[in-house]
Chains A and B, each alone.
Chain A
Amino acid sequence: MSTEGRAGPSAAQVKTERLLNLVLVLLYTRRPLAKAQIRSLVPQYGHSASTEAFERMFERDKDELRELGIPLVTEDIDPLHEDEPGYRIHQREYALPDISFEPDELAVLGLASRTWAQASLAGPAAQALRKLRAAGVERDVDALIGIEPRLRTTEPAFDAVKDGVLRRLPLRFAYRRAEASESEERHVQPWSLLSWHGHWYLNAYDVDRDAPRVFRLSRIVGGVRPAGDPGSFEVPEDHEPRLMVQGSAPPTGRPSPAVVRVRKRAGHSLRRHARTVGEVDSTWDLVDLDYTDLDGFAEELAGYGADVVVEQPDELVHGVVDRLRGAVAAHAGER
């Protein structure tokens, strides 16, 4: 054996062997097996000190296999001996259904899997693709060369919140609202998780506020803890993750016209959205354009500094002047 000359196998190695043997034995059998039979067929159980030690170990192993999604079932071995349960794994419950994918389908599945390459779910994503490709022969599809969509999960709360959403597990966490300096304890039923404009959001029912709320994962402070049992609430059937997150953003108003003076070779983004651009002189152009949000547009225009001067309307002039004056005051320095 090639392990010759090394120290004995590690505890984790022995456990993997034991679990793999257990899976093989329970998949192979055509009848449910009693514990005593399992103990004799899986050599690693034979080494356990006592029947009690074996049974404790077997109970833990059963739980861990089920945790992995392996459908280990308990069945009566023999109706005449009702008190003796038997164990087995049905092949049809265990195995991935036999589905064949076309080469272009495998290519987009590969792209979908690589989407997670820089995220906490990179391992499951690669594993899932390997399962689907187990029977197939990969071929590259040229059309997918050169495109790399990526999702990142830099928020520390991502994994715990994701598990809460998938298992319908009520959660507790400390949350800091956008402009608050202190965090508050929140208690929620997590409905869905959405990556939108590069940020992850949790849509949930806030139990204490008795209303649906949108949470930004980056504002969750510290740990996320379970606050109930898995499956203990229902997600409304008409819940639409994107509509809920979008609905939490302020509504956009009706477009209003504005006239601004823009220095030549400046204000490129404004020119892009202009209705008309006319020349004033060798230094300035006059730009007509529409805006929907007065404060947002005043901010944008103030950002151009001396390269943009607002002509109309008056409220926009005041909005820009107020911001520039505010910036001067905030940077007056110690004199």
Chain B
Amino acid sequence: MGASATETATARLARLLTMVPWLVNRQGIDLQQAADDLGVSVEQLEADLNLLFLCGYGQMPDELIEADWEEGRVFVGNADTIARPLRLGVDEAVTLMVGLRALREVPGLGERDAVERALAKLEDAAGAAAAPASRVRAEMADESSAELLARARRAIADRRRVHLRYLVPARDEATERDVDPMRVVGLDGRWYLEGWCHRAEDTRMFRMDRVEELTVLDVDGTPPADARERDLSEGTFRPGPDDLVVTLRLLPGATWVADYYPVESAEHVPASEGGGLVVRVRTADTAWLRRLMWRLGGRGSVLDPAEVVAEVRAGARAALTAYPADVVGGG
């Protein structure tokens, strides 16, 4: 984000050219507040201000930029030449245009009108950067119901507890729970409701496309003070320290598994030995793995540990007993 030890001279220049107009329009802003809003440390901001007042369109005192922050309040003056920000670069235009266009498609987002207006103004402001930016797109809609998403957001705004009927397909369970909602998160192409789950007594992320019913209760829904939102940079999957490590053999035709489930390691198997992958996954629960192996029908198998191998085999045999012998055949 902001400055770092490895920031290049040009990156710092770009940052300063954005920082000056921002500060010029906020004369007297608190130093700490300015640093927070600009995404840098107070030390970095002070170093930046120190640098600014060495610079000017000439080197006479009245030609140099003025920067003062002695009372903990920041004033920047004599900076008319750079009092307006530099035009948006292509990357900058991309981020906002892709973000706005994605928001347009978000189910249940009530601000579509504001999105359209902002997008039109942004396209004007971006000028020549707008055309290339339109070649990057992001889709954020999934099969979640717009009505349920909107209801979840209202519950968050009103601090109401919600009652969920929630499907866990990996274990084929339909669960009922009361949740104090914290936020609605769109991540990796799916929408989630994150909140304090009174059944699990912990924060949980619920996939919105698996929420069958969501009722807003007339009960205060403020989460406990120690409820923490998850760090989204690592995705939604959170392995635990006690999780079982399972090794899987994936033949060609089943290697998509490595793209859809979080695998710890993946090794390619040469074509002479059948091709495909050997992957390791870390999991607290083997129910979903058994189901996955039945689905793959032999194109994937558990190599280790032996008890999981036995569970997969026993479950598949039990399922086959329901079919007549002439259908199942020998073997």
Contact = CB atoms under 8 A, between A and B. Distances in A.
A221 to B, nearest CB: 10
B56 A21 contact: yes
A24 B13 CA distance: 12
Contacts of B87: 69, 93-97
B118 A179 contact: no
Interface string A250-280: 0000000000010001111100100000000
Contact of B103 (A2, A149, A331): A149
Contacts of A265: 174
User: Is chain A's binding surface mostly helix, strand, loop or mixed?
Assistant: helix
Given A27-B57, A96-B84, A16 B51 contact: yes
A188 B39 CA distance: 38
Contact of A124 (B89, B183, B269): B89
Given A134-B84, A302-B295, 18 more contacts: A15-B9, A16-B9, A20-B17, A67-B10, A91-B81, A95-B87, A96-B84, A108-B103, A118-B233, A123-B1, A145-B157, A152-B187, A195-B139, A241-B137, A242-B139, A305-B291, A306-B321, A324-B294
A35 to B, nearest CB: 17
Nearest to B155: A146
B135 A25 contact: no
Interface of B: 1-2, 7-10, 12-19, 21-22, 25, 38-39, 46, 50-52, 54-59, 65, 81-82, 84-100, 102-103, 106, 109-111, 114-115, 117-118, 121-122, 124-125, 127, 132-133, 135-140, 142, 153, 156-157, 167, 169, 172-174, 181-190, 212, 232-233, 235, 252-253, 255-256, 259, 268-271, 275-276, 290-302, 306, 309-310, 312-313, 315-323, 327-329, 331
Interface in A289-335: 299-300, 302-307, 309, 317-318, 321-333
Nearest to B287: A305
Interface stretch (A47-55, A159-167, A206-214): A159-167
Contacts of A332: 313
A2 B327 contact: no
Contact of B96 (A125, A182, A195, A197): A125
For A266, A267, A304, the residue with the greatest tally of chain B CB atoms inside 10 Å of its CB is: A304
Contacts of A116: 95, 99
Contact of B10 (A64, A125, A130, A300): A64
Counting from the closest, the 8 A-B pairs by CB-CB distance are: A326-B298, A112-B99, A198-B189, A323-B297, A198-B188, A128-B92, A146-B156, A28-B57
B136 A162 contact: yes
A68 B125 contact: no
Given A70-B86, A109-B122, A178-B256, A195 B137 contact: yes
A91 B169 CA distance: 60
B14 A150 contact: no
A82 interface: no
B315 A306 contact: yes
A63 to B, nearest CB: 10
B167 A115 contact: no
Nearest to B79: A24
9 contacts: A16-B16, A69-B89, A143-B111, A146-B182, A149-B186, A265-B174, A318-B327, A325-B328, A329-B298
Contacts of B102: 112, 115, 149, 151, 195
Nearest to A70: B86
A86 B156 CA distance: 60
A107 B110 CA distance: 13
A295 B254 CA distance: 13
A309 B321 CA distance: 10
A218 B125 contact: no
A306 to B, nearest CB: 4
